[in-house]
Amino acid sequence: MWRDLSRAKAAGPLVPYVAGYSAELESIGYRPSTVANHVLLLAHASRWLQERGYGAEELAERSEDFLAARRAIGYTQWISPEAMAPLLTYLRSQGVVSVPAAVIATPREHVLDTYQRYLLEERGLALSSLDNFVRVARTFVDQLGDVTGNLTGVTAGDVLDFASEQCRHQNPNRVATGLRVFLRYCQVAGLTTGSLSEAVPRVASWRVSSLPKTLAPEHVRSLLESCDQRSATGARNFAILTVLVRLGLRAGEVANLELRDVDWRSGELGVRGKGARVDRLPLPVDVGEAIAHWLEHGRPSCQHPNVFSRMLAPLTPLSSGGVSDVVRAACRRAGLPPVGAHLLRHSAASEMLRTGSNLNEIG
């Protein structure tokens, strides 16, 4: 724990929190030198508060003034709101600084907030799918609702015009699906009169007009070989790519894998799919070996249960975007055009089909 307060010239209302703050930063993976810089920033903020007669609880509302004063006396580093964020987060967790008050929602926002909770709690929609549904609903309410969000005056013709216009600028299937779900909700919630979901036009779809693009087997091997498994980052990236290539998981499913999901005894992997669904998949030997190597030789000590984590502090779980970044970085190393994680899912399905699996098994 970083305890050298002599360099910090600590004084003022934040001094009692130095030890706890430094311990918190160390626990989420910050290096000692970075912890020291954060504590020096705390000490400066504490002295600034004391000089002006402010208490520790006032730091959040005064942080912009503090940073302006810090810049004015010549500091060129640790002068942004991002630099202050870890300190304010810690002080909020200790009850020193109050959590920002929630903004009072307008009637329209209340409608959308209720709809969002319905999607999460009643429909079991995954967070990764939520944005599209809410975005379609928000645009619909903004364009056709009154100031309270009421849609009782909307007609089937209005729905058709809205869908036609939106499909010119967005994915037609996403618009149609999102609008249909929202209008069914509106009918149940009494926001519309009658059923308007049937007014949403059907989108033409020729499912066999083309096959999904895939990576050739030799390109997949190049991606895996581009990872230097002697390093912690390389071990993590190799494990992620192996899971994607062999099991065909989505990026979000890889990011959500937890240590408890790996059943080493039975050789199975629990996968949290869309909504609240959990599937049990066989754990191939090479996938198990890649994960085990990462856990034993690469994964830093983390407080969260996720299998894959960031390599730099804060050591939070790797996001689905981070999983896709791993794939794109491997493409660069292998000299291939950048692709997303989903293309590896298609490649895995094609490889399963090529080796004799039927479509039901692949699904």
| Predicted local distance difference test score (pLDDT) of residue 305 | 92
Cis preceding linkage at 13, omega within 30 = no
| Predicted local distance difference test score (pLDDT) of residue 273 | 67
CB atoms within 10 A of CB 64: 11
Which burial class, exposed, middle or buried, applies to 201 when counting CB atoms under 10 A from its CB (0-12, 13-18, 19+)? Answer: middle
| Predicted local distance difference test score (pLDDT) of residue 263 | 93
Distance CA 84, CA 31 (A): 17
On whether the CB atoms of residues 192 and 151 are closer than 8 A, the answer is yes
Q: Which residues contact 269 (CB under 8 A, 6 or more apart)?
A: 247, 257, 261, 262, 263, 280, 281, 282, 283, 287
DSSP three-state, residue 343: helix
On whether the CB atoms of residues 299 and 318 are closer than 8 A, the answer is no
Distance CA 66, CA 71 (A): 9
Q: Which residues contact 336 (CB under 8 A, 6 or more apart)?
A: 215, 219, 222, 223
Tens of each residue's pLDDT in the chain, 363 residues: 444 544 556 689 999 999 999 998 988 888 888 999 999 999 999 999 999 999 999 999 999 999 999 999 999 999 999 899 999 999 998 999 886 655 556 777 888 888 888 888 787 776 667 778 888 998 998 888 876 677 888 888 899 999 888 888 788 888 899 899 999 998 888 888 878 888 888 876 555 445 457 778 888 899 999 999 999 999 999 999 999 988 888 888 899 899 999 999 999 999 886 656 678 888 999 999 999 999 999 999 888 899 999 988 888 898 888 898 999 999 999 998 888 887 887 676 666 655 555 545 545
| Predicted local distance difference test score (pLDDT) of residue 249 | 86
- Residue 151 sits at φ, ψ, to 5 deg, of -120, 20
| Predicted local distance difference test score (pLDDT) of residue 191 | 85
Tallying the residues shown for the chain, one arrives at: 363
Residue 324's closest CA among 257, 220, 240, 259? 240
| Predicted local distance difference test score (pLDDT) of residue 354 | 58
| Predicted local distance difference test score (pLDDT) of residue 2 | 44
Record the pTM: 0.62
| Predicted local distance difference test score (pLDDT) of residue 209 | 47
| Residues β-bridged to residue 272 | 278
In angstroms, the Cα distances linking 135 to 81, 131, 178 are 29, 6, 8
| Predicted local distance difference test score (pLDDT) of residue 169 | 78
